[in-house]
Amino acid sequence: MPQLDVYDLEKSKVGNVDLDSSIFEAPVKQHLLHAIVNWQLAKRRSGTASTKTKGEVRGGGHKPWKQKHMGRARQGSIRAPQWRKGGIVFGPKPKDWSYSMNKKTKKSALISALSLKYSEGMLIALNQFSLPEIKTKQVAEFVENFELKSALIVISGENENLIKSAKNIKNVKVINIDGLNVYDVLKFKNLILTQESLARAQEVLKH
């Protein structure tokens, strides 16, 4: 059974924790990671882009000139697409870009992402990450101690002091274990888990 060293905020080793090999030594399925990232990004698309068609542009209610004997091409409206300020042909309209993804695929992809971080040595376990007050400097010192370039910190339960303290630090994001997702795991170089959030992740993913 694989193990992971557990550190405190000063980067002193305080113990170790057992990892479920079915999760952290699982095969990394790149095709699933790709599929889930695309799915997550599609859900985030606003889909609000919109253009007006010929019938929606204001004006152009009359025929600009007679059909025949004018020596010019026939025109029905000055709001036709070929005219300046005319309507748009086949332009974007509001739409929902999201699509469904089954639970088994999402679970398997998340396991692959966690296994990838562990195999790369980018998974860090902390005994706890509680702050007595909201203070950005405390999180900045943690980032410096662990020499982190970018980090996703996963907590369990309420931790408002940490969330607000990390809000203004570049390339650091704090999320609850219930919101753990493939896109964020892959986006940040290091994955930081507290012992509580790690236990929760293993409990959910092994079933």
Contact in structure between 167 and 125 (CB atoms under 8 Å) = no
**Helices marked H in 45-159 — which ranges?**
103-119, 136-145
Same-domain check for residues 122 and 195: yes
Number of domains making up the chain: 2
What angle do helix axes 103-119 and 195-205 make, rounded to 10 degrees?
140
Q: CA-to-CA distance for 59 and 75, rounded, in angstroms?
A: 14
Domain that holds residue 59: 51-91
Same-domain check for residues 122 and 55: no
Same-domain check for residues 70 and 156: no
Nearest residue to 141 (alpha-carbon basis) of 15, 11, 12: 11
pLDDT digits (tens, 9 = 90+) for 111-164: 999 999 999 999 999 999 988 899 999 999 999 999 999 999 999 988 899 999
* Model pTM score: 0.84
Whichever domain contains 119, its CATH number is 3.40.1370.10
Which two three-digit tokens encode residue 113?
A: 């992402």
**Helices marked H in 6-101 — which ranges?**
21-24, 30-44
Mean pLDDT of 82-89: 94
Mean pLDDT of 102-118: 96
